[in-house]
Structure 1
Amino acid sequence: MQILDKQGGSFRLMATFKKVMQWKAGEIWATDEELAARSGRCTDRTISRDVATYRRHGLIMVEKGWRKVSGKFLRSRTIRLAVPAVIPPYIVLSERQDHTDTRGLSGEAIHTDTRGPNHTDTRGRITIDTIEEGAQPQ
């Protein structure tokens, strides 16, 4: 997000990723038309430009291919989130660790297991992964 802000890019596509990500695969399969509909109903062309911008800055990887639908071959695209190969010097990365151990008092010989149903891990912040596994945001 810092890169997009510094380069004058749009956050509209980044905000849409949570809605369209196939979390188990870590991929986005949505078409420009689908992304446009979920990004405030902008045009397909706007999404195409945003994808190109994100790709140019190393924020996503795009793989193009083909898939067969009803006997016809259609072009396909897979988007994966990425980290730029070289992090620009203006990027500020937090040194903060947000993993809080809630398994009992520090120094206890036996740590009490405080995980919820299905052994949901309660150490740290709620993420999209834990939400999809059934955890509730606080």
Structure 2
Amino acid sequence: MSNKVIIRNLKDIDRAAREFLSLKQERQVVALYGAMGAGKTTFIKAICSALGVPDSVNSPTFTIINEYRSGEGKPIYHFDFYRINKLEEAFDIGFEEFVDSGELCLIEWPEKIEQILPDNCLKVHISVLDDESREITF
């Protein structure tokens, strides 16, 4: 991990999302690691906003996947694997097809499916600092 973005408060999150998008290069599969409440969903909302998604962005905790459209009409897939118990559940929703689509895939709780993440997956770590700001490294 060679990039670091600090979010001091929620006002910083849109700037941080734009900065992240400019640094992520061409990698389309993004795995977001962080403790419960670290800000994974909030950061994904900011990324989607920066990409022009007009819809409300919410964590798909129960549905496992949400699909959005960027301002350019490109699909964005948002996964939340928090509630899965078996790797087969990821296969059941067609995870590999989404990843192979070449479209942006944003993944919360990737620890649950680590074995099937592609080699070129961009791993993003969100940490809560002592002053409650967030450090995003990738």
What TM-score does the superposition give when structure 1 sets the normalisation length?
Answer: 0.28
**Bigger relative CO (Cα 8 Å, ≥ 6 apart):** 2
Q: Between Structure 1 and Structure 2, which shows a larger proportion of strand residues?
A: 2
Which has more radius of gyration? Answer: 1
What TM-score does the superposition give when structure 2 sets the normalisation length?
Answer: 0.28
